[in-house]
Structure formats: structure tokens, C-alpha cells
Amino acid sequence: MDFELNDEQKMFRETLRDFADKEIAPVAPEWERTGRYPTEIVEGLRDLGLFGLNVPEEYGGLGADRVSYALAFEEIARAWLGAAGLFGPHSVACVLIARHGTAEQKERYLPRMATGELRSGICLTEPGAGTDLQGIATAAVRDGDHYVVTGAKTWITNARVAGVLPVLVKTGRAERAHEGMSVLLVDTSSPGFRVTRDLPKLGYKGPETCELVLDEVRVPVAGLLGGEEGRGLQQVLGGLEIGRINIAARAVGVAQAAYEAALGYSREREAFGRPISDFQAIQLKLADMATEIQAARLLTYWAADRAETTGGRVDMEAGMAKMYASEVAIRCALESMRVHGGYGYSAEFVVERLYRDAPLMAIGEGTNDVQRLVIAKALVSGGGRLGW
């Protein structure tokens, strides 16, 4: 049992931390406030190869192990959650194509996705279907060598900058709903594909999050992910599982930033002639935050390592990590605000942004209540167990 990162992972983490501290953290407050798109950060992520985290080396990607994958999101989110969103959904799209794509699809998309030349996201949620993906209404009707796609999607991150989007659609009727669902790789320049608006958000500023319409968009049959209808729900659930590891890691990064802000402020702020870090009430908050963050971090790395070593589904482990880490991020953001007192409510201090960002992780990639059901199902069925 080894709780240490290997030398390659340590070097990767230090490179990421240096980039985040120098290139992201200094500009995040102003760019978040003004809604400025972080083009320069995108270029930096390209230079680091982060768009190719989940692209195999044979296609020009990093082919990173899952722990390194988690490290990337933790370190970038620690500086600014929005910056992690620039390549988060893209990384899940890469998983879908790398795992399930045909040879032609991999050759066509993965090399350009690895460099960030071609950007992507995941196109699942609809105005009437979020948690229950089997309730989607977007339909794809076969017409010769094309599918004609009609429907609407919402909460799609990076929709305006994506060149291709994996879109979950219904390609047929089946006794069991999931058997009629497929994923189509949609070229966003196709006639009928239209981003209708950017959704206003409490936090998670930086990347755009959009509603879009597909109005009889023609997608070549060659764009059917894996070349087989009826596999879509299984494909996206496997991708979301890896996505939950990145959400858990982002939550750890936000929680770490909240803790660091509280610790630093407590050492500088004085009350009654002493730094407030001398007061037991503050010390108890810091101790609880530090302990919960480390527990969340280890749970996240454990889920990532299990995904790497088993090569199979880790629904329970990823669900545990995402659920716990996201709740820790929310608690730590609030506790950090309390340590800051009135200044914690000011937009001049980073904790105000962290407090707005943290709730996203409890919702994104499947709500925490859904994660509890996933965990319980694994335990009750015997497919998951505690201990070694």
C-alpha cells in the first residue's frame, strides 16, 4: 500500500501548480468579474497538453494515468474552477471516442482533440431530462446515409467553442428505453445546429454554458459512435464515471483554496491584540477543514487508482469520491467565509468566489442524491464492498 505519488506524478503536479499560480490565479478575480473569456489560459492548457489528458499516446495525447488526470483538475481548480471547465467536458468526450469510437472516428478526431485544435464537450442534458437521461426527447431518424437530428440540449459547457459534440439521442424505439439510445458525433458547423443563449450562473464563470437547438441537423451515419445503435446510454454512463473523478478532484481543489485562504487570513488578522489563529474557535475550524480535505483527496485518488488498475467500471468508488469531495468543498467554502468574517462576503476576497463555485460539484455529473443511490445499489448487489 503506497500513499505517495510517483516521481512522474509529482513532477506533473509541480508543473501544473506553477502554471496555475502564475498564469491563472492572478487574473481569475478580474476575468471572473467581467466575464472575459480566458483565451490565454486556453493557450496555456494547450501548451501543457491538458486537452490530450485522455487521448492515447498513439493519437498524440498524454495518455495520462487516472491519478494524474485527477491531479490536473485539482491543481487548476484550486486556482480557478472556471479554468478547469475549459478542458473538463472535453476530457470526457475524449474518453468516449477513445473507448468506443471506430478506427476512423479515432483517427479523425483524437489527434486534433489532443492538441486542443478541435475542442469538445458532452451533450446530454435537456430542458426536460437531466438526471433521468432515459427521458431525453432529442431524436435521430435514419435517412439514407444520414441521421436527421431534432431536439434541444441545455447546460452544455463549451458549446460555443466546440467543433464536435457527442450528442445523446434516441435512434429508435425499444422495450427498454436505453436500448433505443445512441451517441452521434455532431459537427457544430452543420446547418440547423444553433447555440441559442448562454445560461446565467451563480458561479463557474469563464467557460460558457449554453442552450442549443438541433433543427433537422444531418449527421452522416459514420458519425454514430462505435458504429452500432443502442449503445449510447452505456457509453455515456462510462464516460460520466470518469467525469465524476474530475468533479471530485475539482472539489478538492476548491476546498484546498478555501482552506489556504482561511489559514492565511487567520495568521494576518488580529483581534484583541492577537492573530485570530491563536483562538481555539478558529483552530477547530482549520483542523476540521484540513482533515476533511485530506480525506476527500485520498478518496478521490483511490477512485482514480481503482479506475486505472481495474480497467473496468468504478461507479461506486467514483460516486463516493464525487459525493464526499463536493460536500467537503461546500462546507470548507462556508467555514472559510466564517473565518474571514465580513471580508468573506466581499468580492475583493477569493472566498466569495469559492462559496459561489462550490455548489456546482454537488450537482454536476449527477446529483449527490443520485450518487448515494449508485453507491447503495453497488453495496446491496454485492458488486461493491468496503475494505481491502
pTM of the predicted structure, to 2 decimals: 0.96
Beta partners for residue 183, in sequence order:
168
State the chain's mean pLDDT as an integer. 95
Annotation marks residue 179 as catalytic: no
User: Quick count: other Cβ atoms within 10 Å of Cβ 294?
Assistant: 15
C-alpha distances out from residue 83 to 34, 135, 340, Å: 15, 31, 25
How many residues are there in the chain? Answer: 388
Closest by CA to 101, choosing from 183, 181, 187, is: 183
The confidence band for 313, taking pLDDT boundaries of 50, 70 and 90, is confident
CB–CB of 153/169 below 8 Å?
no
Amino acid at 37: Y
CA 106 remoteness from chain centre: 22
Higher per-residue confidence, 158 vs 386: 158
Q: What is the pLDDT of residue 175?
A: 65
The single residue of 126, 292, 335, 365 carrying the catalytic annotation is 365
The residue behind cell 463549451 is 158
**Residues 45-104 pLDDT 10s:** 999 999 999 999 999 999 999 999 999 999 999 999 999 999 999 999 999 999 999 999
End-to-end CA distance of the chain: 10
Query: Mapping DSSP to helix (H, G, I), strand (E, B) and coil, where does residue 17 land?
Result: helix
Is 182:140 a contact under the CB 8 Å cutoff?
Answer: yes
